[in-house]
Amino acid sequence: MPINEIRSIATFVKTAELGSLRRAAVVQGISPQAASQALAQLELHLGVRLFHRTTRNMSLTDEGRRFLEAAQPSLAGLQRALQMARHAKDEIAGPLRIVGPRSTFLPVLWPVLDEFSRRYPEVQPDVQLDDRIGNWVEDRVDVGFRVGRSAEEGVVARRLFSLQLIVCAAPAYIARHGAPDQLAALAAHRCSVFRHPATGRVLPWHLKEGDAVVDHEVAPALSTNEEQLEIEAVLAGHVIGMLTGVTAAAHIRAGRLVPLLTAHVADHVGVYIYYGSRTAQPARVRAFIDLAVERLLDNREYFLTAKELASAEAKGRRLGLRALQNK
């Protein structure tokens, strides 16, 4: 029903209740002229007169009385529904549909989701982590995360932090096999590769060479579509792996992993949060977006500075060389 018809019916009902078109206009916050026009449009649309009018009084016609009896309950129900919808928009409760990549993202999402759930226990998160790129509308997404900007039209995308790709090895690996000092030396080392869970494609290592990012193919000593398994294999010293800053940063800072070839760390893609227009969002969606941006924007927990990387590589190489000499 067009909004002018709703307004016309509301003007008619309020006029019948108050017995005055002028008072109905005041209650609705419109001019008497607008109220009179709305009523005239409704009568024209219905093809009947709804009121007997004199200079002092307005009284319902028989048709107007029957229309009032039919319209009044429905209008009251519609107004209640509108009020409930407005209230729900401002209430931090209800379902919250979140999507994001399966690979890499759980360590980023969980602290935010944990804090949000403690703050707002009346919200029911519905989280789908999947490396495929779904359809925003069909999947009924409230908030999404993606590595790289969303290709969806009409979606707001905000960059949170750069996703570093870091070649890493455990100290135990370096003690047994040494560490590559240039890209060409990788051919002599045991490397792991990641197989994309959605496509099954083995992904090359992305490495920076000068100002460009190049695809570097490595012969796999291990290939897997499960990121956690690859991390465990690297930590155990079986292979060298290209890991994201999200998963590697804490291990590097703790000395469990050594970053290698740090001059070639690529950070050309970012992690983004994306969502629809904020003007129409329920309060629960706005609250989650605000918390996610507050906690994740340029969060140093998920990436290392060039100075940190170089220092950790130099230290790891020294310790590895010492271990090799003591064999």
Q: What is the pLDDT of residue 83?
A: 66
Cα(248)–Cα(259) distance, integer angstroms: 9
CB 241 within 8 A of CB 235: no
State residue 301's pLDDT score: 94
Q: What pLDDT is attached to residue 272?
A: 92
Compute the distance between CA of residue 74 and CA of residue 77 in angstroms, rounded to an integer. 5
The CATH topology of domain 96-327 is D-Maltodextrin-Binding Protein; domain 2 (3.40.190)
pLDDT for 320 equals 72
Contact 39, 8 (CB under 8 A): yes
Tokens of 118: 């403690």
pLDDT at 105: 87
Sign for the CA dihedral angle at 240, 241, 247, 252 comes to positive
Residue among 324, 50, 39, 276 nearest 177 (CA)? 324
Hey, CA dihedral for 83, 87, 90, 92, is it positive or negative?
A: negative
How far, in Å, CA of 1 to CA of 226, rounded? 52
Per-run averaged pLDDT (10 residues), the chain, 327 residues = 68 82 84 84 84 76 83 76 61 88 87 95 92 63 84 79 95 93 93 84 91 91 92 96 95 96 93 81 91 95 94 87 65
pTM exceeds 0.95 for this model = no
| Residue pair 274/99 in contact by the 8 Å Cβ criterion | no
Residue extents of the structural domains in the chain: 3-90, 96-327
Which CATH topology does 3-90 take?
Answer: Arc Repressor Mutant, subunit A (1.10.10)
Task: Determine the Cα–Cα distance for residues 186 and 189; give it in Å rounded to an integer.
Answer: 5
How far apart CA 70 and CA 136 sit, in angstroms, is: 41
Answer yes or no: are the C-beta atoms of 192 and 223 closer than 8 Å.
yes
* pLDDT for residue 233: 97
Per DSSP, the residues of 250-261 read HHHHTTSSEEES
